[in-house]
Amino acid sequence: MTSERATEFKVWYRPQFISNVCHICKTAPGNESLTCPGCGLVSYCSQRHLEEDEDDHEDICDALKGVVELLGTKRAHDKAYLLGPDQWREFRLGVANLCSKQLGRPLMPWETEVCLYPPHCATCHKFCTATERCLECHSISWCSSQHKPKQHSEHCRQLTLMRQILQRKVHVIKAPQLNGVPADMNSLFSEGGDVVTFSLLTEIATSPLTILQHLTNSESASVHIIGPEPHFEANNLSKWEIFLFNLLPSVLSLTLNFVGPEIGPLPPRKINKNGRTLNFTFHQVLYHDFISKGCVSIPSLICALNPGLYRSQGFDGQDSWQDTIDAMFKHTDVPVLVTAYTKKRNWYGPRTNQKPSAQSKNDRRTKSQPILQLETTNELCIGRLQSRHFQKCILYCPHRLIGIGITCIKNCYLWHDD
């Protein structure tokens, strides 16, 4: 398959809930604003938008009313008043689980967000919709001036940008014309651009540009990308050409191997350009199973982009990371690149700092001493900051574009033998 360079990137969105703003258009509260009379959690800017959402909202509304009846309260979150941080988190997870049981199915992401982020006081968790709220992001409320969160200013700009992205819903972004390797993410910010488009572009460019920093510039190179997702690493494939292949002019052949159970049975693809070749292969298996076949050539670089090593469960509820980590460090001369969701490095500690299994001979590699920390100059980190606490059901992750949030890759670690 031969392909010409794409000049546009496509952006997809899913429904997302933000308390205090219209669930349909994400506009700020106005004179005609109202909330659902059933559950009291979802806001609308007008009667028209409330009626437009009735069919989609019906299931979660009925489930929440069932929870109210079960708890014997007026609203689903009333018993959360004055709970501590851990108890508040567990209570909201409990509400989501009860709603799921009421419906007899897993909640959709936006339904889960209704349960996790109700309109409440950020300090005492008192449920009320007529509270004071931040007039910038509209995401944070407080029942009195004494309960206004002191640290909200640190996140307000990010939450405001998230709402702007959901409100604008830019579906197409023109690919930038690059004359060389960008000095930083800000150099992608073209004249006349805006922060919404720029933020979406950084989400598209961050993976190939991160790999670019660590890929040896040789005639032939291959990269193993572990645990790719269809809506992150494997969508807008032209980004790999624009932000990686085109910036490695001396590489005549580059092969990107996407390996993971979520990638789907996709056919291989090839881009031929001026005597140079970019290959894409897709393997719907766990990485250690992929390596165990024995017919895989040694890669130039192995990378796992935001793999979530801190989670106790991986794909299909199983914990297969130890086998995958052993496979990642099988070849002592191949660098391994792992990126993190946020700056909290210790999320990876239990995995990367543990001693290897008895069968493993890669003691130094699995101890994972970082020799390089790479931080982009872009400080955008958009999303539900609270969601980092909901490890069981929700992730704070850049690649869920209009999910919990988006960001440039903040921390990258490159490990190899001393």
Predicted structure pTM score: 0.76
**Inter-residue contact 185 to 376 (CB < 8 Å):** yes
Question: Does residue 234 or residue 99 have the better pLDDT?
Answer: 99
Per-state percent for the chain, helix, strand, coil, to nearest 5: 35, 15, 50
Nearest to 343 by CA among 390, 302, 385: 385
Q: What are the pLDDT digits (tens) for 218-276? A: 899 999 999 998 888 888 999 999 999 999 999 999 999 999 998 888 899 999 989 99
Residue recorded with tokens 């130890």: 322
Report whether 287 contacts 281 (CB < 8 A).
no
**Mean pLDDT value across the chain:** 78
Residue 92 pairs in a beta bridge with: none
> Within the chain, how many helices (H) and strands (E) appear?
11, 16
Do the beta carbons of residue 408 and residue 206 sit within 8 Å? yes
Range(s) of the chain covered by CATH 3.40.50: 179-415
**Class (C level, CATH) for 179-415:** alpha beta
Q: Which of 100-109, 216-225, 336-345 has the highest mean pLDDT?
A: 100-109
Report the distance separating Cα 52 and Cα 59, nearest Å.
15
DSSP-assigned beta bridge partners for residue 381: 407
pLDDT top residue among 89 and 7: 89
Cα 362 to the center of its chain, rounded Å: 30
Residue 357 DSSP label? P
In degrees, rounded to 5, the angle at the alpha carbon of residue 248 between the alpha carbons of residues 244 and 250 is 155
